[in-house]
Amino acid sequence: MVENPDDKKTIAFVVYPGMTPLDMLGPLTVLDGMATSVPGYRTVVVGETTDPIATDNPLRIAASHTFEEVPSPYALLVPGGAAPTFKALADEKLVGYVRKAAASAELVTSVCTGSLVLGQAGLLEGRRATTHWMFRDLLRAFGAEPVAERWVVDGNVITAAGVSAGIDLALHLVERLAGAEVARTIQFVVEYDPAPPLGPLDWSNPPYKDVKPLLDLTLSEALSGEPALRDKLLAHTGG
């Protein structure tokens, strides 16, 4: 076990094979900015190994620490992804670490389908939570109440919706931990002032009117070796 020599509050970002990099890198950039300017915090990236792992795009990522080296972080963030994240739900080393670390963490957070990992770890029972809009109803499989919001706070558990919502979550955390002035400064530093070229999303007209066929296929393929977990999630795809 590696101790924290400076006795700083550790914010741990979890990585696992096939995750979506931006789910982690956006919040990490924001919160590392806080850690370098506000005494008492540090950021680490934790994984089963410190060897490089594949993500869901050509980028490979290596953790700075293993799970064993950071057993009790102050705050935890779990990123999401698509099919690889569903496979990760059956990874007891990952889920077990999240469960154990969350037991003593002051803040437990997720981005996108990372909330499903929190659910698999038993951390969402009876809580309001969110995730990527395509997978939101799957939260019911873990006893959570799905909420269509950018980020959702329920006790010490904070979940963010899809991908870019992780930056919103991180700025919220900075404001909560270090104050609005620090959060606003970091927002300026990273020039986070969204003005997408195609304008805001029209939530009344999503690209997939019926996501059930895609969900069913994704879950069936990703969890073909985990029939109990597959069927548990398939029961909440609607239709």
132-175, pLDDT tens digit by residue? 999 999 999 999 999 999 999 999 999 999 999 999 999 999 99
Contact between 29 and 23 (Cβ < 8 Å): no
Distances (CA, A) of 133 to 112, 124, 161, 163, 214: 9, 17, 7, 11, 13
pLDDT above 70 covers a percentage of the chain that reads: 97
Q: What is the pLDDT of residue 208?
A: 84
Helices (H), the chain: 21-37, 83-88, 92-104, 114-120, 165-178, 180-189, 212-222, 227-234
Contact between 6 and 145 (Cβ < 8 Å): no
Q: What is the pLDDT of residue 6?
A: 66
What gap in Å lies between CA 22 and CA 8, rounded to an integer? 25
**Enzyme catalytic residues:** 112
What gap in Å lies between CA 46 and CA 217, rounded to an integer? 31
Return the DSSP state at 187: H
User: Which domains are seen in the chain, by residue range?
Assistant: 9-201 (3.40.50.880)
pLDDT tens per residue, range 63-86:
999 999 999 999 999 999 999 999
| Mean predicted confidence (pLDDT) in 90-95 | 98
Q: Give this prediction's pTM.
A: 0.95
Pick the residue with more confidence: 196 or 3?
A: 196
Q: What is the pLDDT of residue 32?
A: 98
pLDDT higher than threshold 60 for residue 1: no
pLDDT tens per residue, range 32-53:
999 999 999 999 999 999 999 9
